[in-house]
Amino acid sequence: MTISRKEFLRRTALFAAGSVLPLGTVSASSGLLRSDEITILYTNDTHARLDPFPKNAKEFAGLGGIARRASLIKRIRDLQKNVLLLDAGDVFHGSTWFEVYGGSVDFKLMTEMNYDAMAIGNHEFDRGPDGFADAAGHAGFPFLAANYIVRNTPMAPFVQRQIVKEFDGFKMGIFGLGIEFDGVIDRSLTGSIRAADPIRNAAQITGYLKNSLQCDYIICLSHLGYHYSDARVDDYDIAHSVDDIDLIIGGHTHTFLDTPTVVQKESGKRVYITQMGHGGVRLGRIDLNNLGVTSDYNLHAQYYTIGEEE
């Protein structure tokens, strides 16, 4: 963080006073589409980057900032009737904002932007279950982790396995997957919470969403990681091993994907995997057309680089 202590305290006073997010400038990779029936917006690994990257940063100089993101999301909502806003985890860790406020300011501002749900990333354990619960009390959206066993812990009131959002009769099931703890999160930070097999739990929850809740489209918010060369479970494994998932919005590996990766299954079904890097410098967008017509929906994907000159 490169801002002065004086400037940090000034901005803190503005947030504490309940100031609304100011509008900023944004630039898009392509034009907005008015005719799409559902627009999915998504972020991942924002890492408490509430301010833009400094002008002298080695990468992403001047990009990002939560005020610009809020402005962009508002513009899209003004043009699109049905908008779903999601995050794939690791809002915690990375700046003075987290060191001082432990994620509560991030969650307050995400609530202002009307986030629908967020996956739990490994850094959400940086202050243990109690620290997460303290911050989560400021969030107006659920946290999703189908493979984390959190009952009888401070995280239990805030964590769900899945949610269902309905747009004009079209039902979208959304569930989360968290990374396995070993080698990633210090066991002293997870308390009595356990991480179960992500593939088995994903199969269970998608079957429930598809067959019991009659969802038309299923999204996995994953903080497993995009693709590994070793035996760790990643988004590719989920796409290949689990039926009925349509879209995986990923995180953890900070992977910048200009277009979603397509996994073609033996059944002929296509699963899309996407991720927007880190630091809040991009907002991902996927538009779905022809809802309710076929199971192979028309999908248009793009991303916005936040803070570039228009």
Residue 284's H or E segment, with its range, is strand 282-289
Answer yes or no: is 12 within a domain: no
- Asked if 117 contacts 163 with a C-beta cutoff of 8 angstroms, the reply is yes
Answer yes or no: is 115 within a domain: yes
**Token pair recorded at residue 55:** 């002008």
Min mean pLDDT across 125-139, 179-193, 284-298 is at: 284-298
Number of domains present in the structure of the chain: 1
Whether residue 87 has pLDDT greater than 80: yes
The pLDDT value given to residue 37: 81
What CATH number should be reported for the domain holding residue 117? Answer: 3.60.21.10
Burial 22-36 (b: 16+ CB within 10 A, else e): eebebebeeebeeeb
Question: Which domain does 83 fall in, by range?
Answer: 23-305
Answer yes or no: is 269 within a domain: yes
Spatial separation of the C-alpha atoms in residues 79 and 153, rounded to whole Å: 41
Answer yes or no: is 58 within a domain: yes
Whether residue 275 has pLDDT greater than 60: yes
Mean of pLDDT over the chain: 88
The pLDDT value given to residue 19: 39
The pLDDT value given to residue 97: 84
Answer yes or no: is 4 within a domain: no
pLDDT tens sequence across 168-205? 889 999 999 999 999 999 999 999 999 999 999 999 99
Answer yes or no: is 10 within a domain: no
Average pLDDT over residues 66-71: 96
- Asked if 106 contacts 94 with a C-beta cutoff of 8 angstroms, the reply is no
Name the more confident of 10 and 208: 208
The pLDDT value given to residue 298: 79
The pLDDT value given to residue 295: 53
Name the more confident of 235 and 9: 235
Answer yes or no: is 3 within a domain: no
The pLDDT value given to residue 292: 56
Answer yes or no: is 7 within a domain: no
The pLDDT value given to residue 289: 83
